[in-house]
């Protein structure tokens, strides 16, 4: 039987599979210039977005293009799926969450039809922003990462 002290501290996990990017490579100035906070982006290859941490859904936008999460430690994270995807009014997105819902790391939050979004002329690059002020060092920029992969960034 596992004791109470054998649980390891939860570390941040990548919410989506794809190519890891520095924020300055995001084709949107708000993200590229870190106006909402520091973070990283993923150019996704698979249209499934998973919970990078355990916590609570703080924002589930009706347009389904973005997800706000508050981690158990108070860290606030925004996952913004694609660029200008708010204009699609939820088309191409299947949400598995609602505001106020408790989530566990690894829960499927959103399914995204990447081909549909691209066909609408929208980049699918997905910024992940730490809106509570942390600074981020991207460890594997330009490399392929898998959903739920850990040790892709350092949080300061």
Return the domain boundaries, the chain.
18-136
Question: Does residue 80 carry a catalytic annotation?
Answer: yes
Considering the candidates 65, 80, 96, 156, report the single residue annotated as catalytic: 80
pLDDT of residue 9: 76
Point out the residues of the chain with pLDDT beneath 70: 1-8
Rounding to the nearest 10 degrees, give the CA dihedral for residues 80, 84, 89, 93.
-50
Q: What is the pLDDT of residue 8?
A: 63
Q: Which of 114, 105, 60, 109 is nearest to 83 (CA)?
A: 114
Question: Cβ(90)–Cβ(122) under 8 Å?
Answer: no
- What is the pLDDT, as a whole number, of residue 1? 46
What local confidence, expressed as pLDDT, does residue 10 receive?
83
Q: In this structure, what token pair is assigned to residue 136?
A: 């981020």
CATH superfamily placement of domain 18-136: Glucose Permease (Domain IIA) (2.70.70.10)
Laid out side by side, the sheet with 108-112 consists of 48-50, 108-112, 93-95
Q: What is the pLDDT of residue 15?
A: 98
């Amino acid at each position: 039987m596992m004791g109470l002290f054998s649980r390891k501290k939860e570390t941040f996990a990548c919410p989506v599979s794809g190519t890891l990017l520095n924020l300055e490579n995001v084709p949107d100035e708000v993200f590229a210039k870190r106006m909402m906070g520091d973070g990283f982006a993923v150019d996704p290859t698979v249209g499934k977005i998973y919970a990078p941490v355990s916590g609570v859904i703080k924002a589930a936008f009706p347009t389904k293009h973005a997800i706000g999460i508050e981690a158990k430690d108070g860290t606030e994270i925004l996952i913004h799926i694609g660029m200008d995807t708010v204009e699609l009014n939820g088309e191409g997105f299947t949400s598995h969450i609602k505001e106020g819902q408790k989530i566990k790391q690894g829960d499927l939050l959103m399914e995204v039809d990447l081909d549909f979004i691209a066909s609408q002329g929208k980049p699918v690059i997905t910024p992940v922003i730490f809106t509570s002020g942390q600074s981020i060092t991207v460890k594997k920029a330009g490399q392929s990462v898998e959903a739920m992969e850990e040790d892709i960034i350092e949080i300061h």
